[in-house]
Structure 1
Amino acid sequence: MLDCVQTETGVAPKFSVIWLHGLGADGNDFGPIVPELIARDWPAIRFVFPHARVRPISVNGGARMRAWYDITGFEIAQRQDEAGIRYSMTELEELIAREVERGIPSSRIFLAGFSQGAAMVLSGGLRHAQRLAGIIALSGYLPLADALATERSEENRGVPIFMAHGSVDPIVPQPLGMLGRDFLRNLGYGVDWHSYPMAHQVCAEEILDLRNWMGAQLASATD
């Protein structure tokens, strides 16, 4: 099991959010977003921020850093590290299973991620066998797309998806994110898409939009 940073917004959490960081970061990266994201009337939520394993990254000259999979070139959607992605999918499954064991059903678990983490929650979440509460993909893209049509979960064909991207992102170009959005929509997924005039980052307007989206999902799950 991966080491994680964890925070709970109240006693006896009713929902969980498993949030995967981007390349070279760690589980501390998005912890500060929690107070800005949550609303006072929400039920208690457990936020889980795992640390990816340290591995050599080819595009960075083999330098070792935390990553969910290897990046072999600047065209990040080409020559994908399928073995690394699929291994991290198994680790994501373990994190989901732990939340279920702690009393949070899969239907009340959100998967969220930024950049590489967004790629992982899209690829892993859409293949997860039990229905999830939602998938949040910030500044990411959809890896292993060609295999998704046959490998996707029936239970998550209707899962709510929030995707957001910076229009001038130099790391994960917005057209790559839009390609994933369109691919998912063509498969019948409902994708709530947002674009912001920013680079490879998160902005206040994005957090507000995500809060509104999450609030709607929480309300529907607790009705």
Structure 2
Amino acid sequence: MSKPPATILASVKQTASVIFLHGLGDVGASWLEAFNTYRIPKAVPHVKFIFPNAPIQRVTLNMGMPMPTWFDIHGLDQNAKEDQPGIEKSSKYLSDLIEEEIKGGISPERIMVGGFSMGGAVAIHAALTSPHTLGGVLALSTWLPLSTTFPKALISGDKKVNLPILQCHGDQDSMVQVQWARLTEQGIKAMGFKQYTFKEYRNMEHSSCNEEMEDVSKFIVQNLPKVD
């Protein structure tokens, strides 16, 4: 795909993994720094953190300029065409990273995926279409992609309803508007997920804030606890 992911290795015996995807035009190292700033790896020393890097591709929305992106974006309104092949390709790449962790001895329910903006969209798609029920999903400032393909695309649906999902969004987001997040909330709830939480942050734009990152830390601690 692109250059290797930025990683934070577990500081004690690894028993869990978090794979987190950045947004448009960004790199994995940015989120590695953010997680370190909020001391999230210190709270879960048994967790390995993986921050992949998207390949450089042309983005229609940005006048065809090449930049790191998980898929093409044609527009920001609800009726904009979605890049289904691109979304599915990145979702497959994330699924391959999950399989690598499983081969390394980490069970699927101890692997959490997440991402910011388009990275979050890929993470949601990969988690819902995975043959495994994962340890959780962190969906920050994002949306449910290819929503018309669900719930049919849900794999092993019965177990999936217990998949923990934390969705976070700023009420001042002008890029991924908060109504997209609310539509995603409706879609995920309609699929019957029992451990789904939606948090909205006042005055937060298309970014993150202290309160959100503290919620992210708590979610990881809660769903990937230390095991012997």
TM-score band by shorter chain is over 0.9
In structure 1, the partner of 2:60 is: 58
Q: Equivalent residue for 2:206?
A: 200
Distance of aligned partners of 1:122 and 1:37 in 2 relative to their CA distance in 1, 3 Å threshold: farther
Which runs of 5 or more structure 2 residues have no equivalent in the other structure? none
Shift, 1:53, TM fit: 0.9
Residue 180 of structure 1 aligns with an amino acid whose one-letter code is T
Aligned counterparts of 1:6 and 1:145: Cα–Cα separation in 2: 31
Q: CA deviation at 1:101?
A: 1.6
1:214 aligns with 2:220: yes
Distance 1:93 1:112 in 2: 12
Structure 2 residue 115 is the aligned partner of structure 1 residue 109? no
Contact preservation (8 Å) 2:76, 2:176 = no
Q: For residue 181 of structure 2, what is the amino acid of its counterpart?
A: G
Aligned to 2:76: 74
Q: Following superposition of structure 1 onto structure 2, how do residues 173-192 of structure 1 map, counting pairs within 5 Å? A: 173-189=177-193, 190-192=195-197
Equivalent-residue separation in structure 1 for 2:102 and 2:5 (angstroms): 16
Query: What does 1:11-160 correspond to in 2, within 5 Å?
Result: 11-35=12-36, 36-38=38-40, 40=42, 42-75=44-77, 78-154=80-156, 155-160=159-164
**Alpha-carbon contact 1:126-1:157 (below 8 Å) kept:** no
Tell me, yes or no, if the aligned pair for 1:22 and 1:115 is still in contact at 8 Å.
Answer: yes
1:129 aligned counterpart, secondary structure: coil
Return the alpha-carbon distance in structure 2 between the equivalents of residues 176 and 37 of structure 1: 30
Alpha-carbon shift at residue 99 of structure 1 (Å): 1.0
CA–CA distance in structure 2, aligned partners of residues 87 and 109 of structure 1 = 20
Distance 2:108 2:197 in 1: 21
3-state SS of the aligned residue for 1:151? coil
Superposition deviation, residue 107 in structure 1: 1.2
Matched length: 222
Offset, 1:43: 4.5
Assess, with a 3 A threshold, how the Cα gap between structure 1 residues 152 and 77 changes in structure 2: closer, same or farther: farther
Give the C-alpha shift of residue 182 in structure 1: 1.1
Residue identity (%): 30
Task: State the alpha-carbon separation in 2 of the partners of residues 55 and 132 from structure 1.
Answer: 29
Pairwise CA distance, 1:40: 4.8
Report Cα offsets for 1:136-175 as digits up to 9, x if no partner.
Answer: 0000000111112111122423200000000000110011
Change (3 A) 1:70 1:156: same
CA contact (8 A) 2:74 2:82 kept: yes
Mean CA deviation greater in 114-123 or 28-37: 28-37
The residue identity in structure 1 corresponding to 2:197 is D
Letter of the aligned partner of 2:179 in structure 1? P
Sort the Cα spacing of 1:18 and 1:77 in 2 relative to 1 into closer, same or farther, 3 A: farther
Q: How many Å separate the matches in 2 of 1:166 and 1:26?
A: 21
Amino acid at match of 1:181: E
Give the Å deviation of 1:74.
Answer: 2.8
Q: TM-score, normalised by structure 1?
A: 0.93
